Structure 1
Amino acid sequence: MVSATKVEGEYSFLSKNSHLDQSEGVKIHLYRFGAEHRNDKLKSLACSEQDGPSLLDTILLSQWDNFALKGHLDYDVTACQLKVIGGGRNFVGQLNNKWNPFSLKEYDKFLSFTCLKTNSMKSYEGLLLGIAQGENDRPEVTPSASPPKDGLLVIANAYPVEYGHIFLVPSAINQLSCYWDKVMIGLATKISSEVNNAAFRVFFDSRTSVVSGHMIFQACYFAIPLPVESASTFMVYDGNGKARSDIIVSETVDYPLKALVFTSTNLKALVSVVSEISVSLHDNATAYSLLISNNGTKVFLFPQVKNLVTGCCLSAWECGGYFVYHTKFGFDNASETEISNRMGSVSLEDSTFEDLKHLCCAIADDLCKLMQNVTA
């Protein structure tokens, strides 16, 4: 389990497990990014965690732990039985008969964007934090009487899939969806980088994570790499050396669910490519999931078709190789073959996936040319 540690130094924040000040007039606390996230550069795992836990990592874990200690979680997810499923791909199974896959729906009242008013936030235990861009050189946490205008809200999931499970909810009102989707992907990527913890993953599912026309991301901590992160890949586009994008597009090899992987330490380039692909998939009514890992420098895209038998798609963590079982029978009998078949049932046909690859490469190349013209 990941633990919170005391924050010392110049950061504007309280120490471990101290309750945030909820004095009269203070309804929410905002985490504001520092200047390092105004230069569009992301941190890779090669330089992660060298200086200990980051401020955002500490505050997220501390707030989530406080939420759990108050008894608001439906169960202790750290006590759920886990196993690595034999067969070579190291799929992970969790036995959890209390997990609610539709937990996002329980927050509908709060997630109604017209309800994000100052008088509703003080009493809402699930609201852990607001996050927005700051103006100072260093990140800081400041009190606020209202949600961040162009930021997001961090809400604890009472039915966690793993430790630290949260919702990342846009707080903007009356934003154009196509504009806000790109902003939201950018914020989710920044958060992954700012947390600076190899265990932290961010997820999005197009079929189940859209409320009031806006994207809702989720995130949690996994102690070990997800199976897809260890899968072999084959590069289909290399943007290194072209302007400053350093975008690389790859596809997974010998993985039962076809997936594309976008890698870059340039936030603007990575977000631009992924968001444009997301819009294209949405316009073509194609379901997809996203997994943001490696401190925000890597995004996995899992396009899907509905399973003909169940009529359902896989969640982002299932696409990554992590499955929750409600019954001991299902957990005990889970096999790599069974999971591979489930993944294969929602995977795109070869020809459709080839078309998607060509589209992704074309979008990445157009971006590189645009950046070259700007820097010329």
Structure 2
Amino acid sequence: MVSTTEFKGQYSLPSKNSPLNQFEGVKTHLYRLGSEHENGTLRSFAYSDQGSPSLLDTIILSQWEDFAWKGHFGYDVTACNLKVIEGGWSFVVQLNDKWNSCVLKEHDTFLGPAGCLKPNCMNSYDELLLCISQGDKDIPEVVPSTKPPKDGLLLIANAYPVEYGHIFLVPSAINQLSFFWDKRMFSLVARIASEVNSAAFRVFFDNCTSTMPDCTFFQACYFANLLPVESAPSVAIYDSKATTGVCLYEIVDYPMKSLVFTGNDVDTLANFVSEVSLTLHDNNTAFSLLISNNGTKVFLFPQVKNLATGCYLSAWECGGYFIYRTKYDFDRASETEISSRMASATLQDGAFEDLKNLCSAVADDLIM
């Protein structure tokens, strides 16, 4: 069951009495994005009052909070202890003995082998909050109680959240996508980040992780402060603002080698990141992505498997945010221990130089 909330503003919205208790197959709210661009740059639809949340931001959080109010979460993530580790990188650690890194295993009833929704698989599902697709009107619209479109993304609540507002963003139809996510999907995710229009909203993607291999889905949640990697210094590797509008930077003075893609044109940025990511995927190179700054900044963390644990780091761990399940480990967390974990997963110098050369070559192709 998906609840409704009444919103005010110049948008097409569901009424409070929408019959969302009646499902035929999979039905939920559908949020259609407004026009994609204005003079080639991303647009966001916020309320007219300065500082007010956007329509999409309001819907996502109201649906997520309604899910919490019904008691579906495994714990109250806002009550978990947090602390900043002393040192130059200011890593953030959370104490959470109930966190489950393999929660998608509970979704096998409606997720196919590539992490996409199976058709006609449920009559009601509380975790399903919303579906988002690209619209063709100038302003966004919300359609209540409808079947998810084949080219949309399902927003599914994570019952074991890492942070406030934690959701999965899952493709709604496997036959509309390649086995690995493509440029269309990344463009849609970047537009969602722009439409949410919140500095706290981050999107994550993990490829070839040990917990859920070969699944095509993104995750997102809200962080009150910048993640450590977002405050790390960077140096420019490739600057094509005058031609393509995208730039590439290398993060320096950070324990994990990483790159940052920036740009205001969502399609160009999506092409850039997707092409590099697809090459890494085809070469069986694990990596994680962090999308921030309203969809205009993407951090890329290429990885090798930790030989001691046999695991990769998650995207939020690459960004400097770690979860500990015991108070003993939480109390003893240190910058030395965390930076060592990150360094054990980072690429060797030669492989990282090859990656930077690949990114520059892809950027050159965008100009042609």
Structures share a fold, TM > 0.5?
A: yes
**Residue 327 of structure 2 is aligned to residue 324 of structure 1:** no
Find the residue that maps to 1:115 and give its secondary structure: coil
When residues 37 and 196 of structure 1 are mapped into structure 2, their CA distance, relative to the original with a 3 A threshold, is same
3-state SS in 1 of match to 2:10 = coil
Give, in angstroms, the shift of residue 20 of structure 1. 6.0
Q: How many residues align?
A: 356
Per-residue deviation at 1:196? 0.1
Name the counterpart of 1:158: 159
On the 8 A contact 2:237/2:248 being kept in 1, the answer is yes
Q: Structure 1's 20 and 182: CA in aligned 2 closer, same or farther, altered over 3 A?
A: farther
2:212, 2:334 → 1: CA distance? 34
Change (3 A) 1:264 1:19: farther
User: How far, CA to CA, are the matches of 1:19 and 1:71 in structure 2?
Assistant: 23
Task: Tell me what 1:272 maps to.
Answer: 271
Q: Superposition pairs for residues 281-292 of structure 1, below 5 Å?
A: 281-292=280-291
Summarize the alignment of residues 280-359 of structure 1 with structure 2, pairs less than 5 Å apart.
280-359=279-358
| Contact kept? 2:251, 2:259, Cα under 8 Å | yes
Quick one: structure 1 residues 230 and 135, their matched pair in 2 at CA, closer, same or farther if it must change by over 3 Å? Answer: same
Q: Give distance in 1, aligned partners of 2:225 and 2:18.
A: 31
Give the letter for the 1:88 counterpart: G
Instruction: Give, in angstroms, the shift of residue 179 of structure 1.
Output: 7.7
Displacement of 1:181 in angstroms is 2.2
- TM value normalised by structure 2: 0.91
Q: In structure 1, how many angstroms separate the alpha carbons of the residues matched to 2:42 and 2:187? A: 11
Q: Secondary structure at the match of 1:35?
A: coil
Q: 1:284 and 1:63, CA in 2 relative to 1: closer, same or farther beyond 3 A? A: same
TM-score of the two chains, using structure 1 as the length reference: 0.89
Rounded Cα–Cα distance in structure 2 between residues aligned with 1:38 and 1:134: 15
Distance 1:19 1:233 in 2: 51
Q: Is the 8 A contact 2:83 2:94 kept in 1?
A: yes
State the alpha-carbon separation in 2 of the partners of residues 309 and 209 from structure 1: 13
Pairwise mapping of residues 32-111 of structure 1 onto structure 2 (< 5 A)? 32-37=32-37, 41-42=41-42, 50-111=50-111
Q: Deviations over 1:19-52 (max 9, x none)?
A: 86415467211000011458752259xxx99451
Aligned AA (2:277): S
The DSSP-based 3-state class of the residue aligned with 2:182 is: helix
8 A contact 1:163–1:222 mirrored in 2? yes
Name the Cα RMSD after superposition. Answer: 2.4
Aligned to 2:148: 147
Distance 1:336 1:171 in 2: 40
Structure 2: distance between partners of 1:201 and 1:147? 23
Equivalent of 1:116 in 109, 114, 119: 119
Residue 213 of structure 1 deviates from its aligned partner by 5.4
Q: 8 Å contact 1:80–1:95 — kept in the other structure?
A: yes
Instruction: Quote the sequence identity (%).
Output: 62
Aligned residue in 1 for 2:201:
200
Partners in 2 of 1:77 and 1:204 — Cα distance? 21
The structure-2 alpha-carbon separation of the partners of 1:259 and 1:123, relative to structure 1 and needing over 3 Å to count, comes to: same
Q: Which residue of 2 is the match for residue 372 of structure 1?
A: none
CA distance in 1, matches of 2:211, 2:178: 10
What is the aligned partner in structure 1 of residue 227 from structure 2? 226
* C-alpha distance in structure 1 between counterparts of 2:192 and 2:211, whole Å: 19
Matched-pair contact (CA < 8 Å) for 1:170–1:214: no
Q: Secondary structure at the match of 2:100?
A: coil
- Give the deviation of 1:114 after TM superposition: 6.4
1:134 maps to 135
Q: 2:362 & 2:280 partners in 1: Cα distance?
A: 13
Task: Name the stretch that deviates more: 54-63 or 168-177.
Answer: 168-177
Q: Please name the residue that 1:190 is paired with.
A: 191
Q: CA deviation at 1:185?
A: 1.2
Q: Is the 8 A contact 1:181 1:215 kept in 2?
A: no
Query: How far apart are residue 12 of structure 1 and its match?
Result: 2.2
For residues 219 and 131 of structure 2, the distance between their equivalents in structure 1, rounded to whole angstroms, comes to 14
Distance in 2 (CA, whole Å) between partners of 1:176 and 1:8 is 35
Taking the TM superposition and a 5 Å limit, the aligned residue runs for 1:353-372 are 353-369=352-368
- After superposition, where does 1:210-221 map in structure 2 within 5 Å? 215-221=216-222
Distance 2:161 2:139 in 1: 31
Residues 116 and 50 of structure 1, relative CA distance in 2, 3 Å threshold: farther
1:116 Cα deviation after fit: 2.7
| Change in 2 beyond 3 A, CA 1:297/1:165 | same
Q: Within 2, Cα distance between the matches of 1:135 and 1:345?
A: 46
| Counterpart code for 1:22 | L
SS in 2 for 1:202: strand
Task: Give 1:320's aligned amino acid.
Answer: G
What runs of 5+ residues in structure 1 fail to find an aligned partner? 370-376
* Change in 2 beyond 3 A, CA 1:331/1:189: same
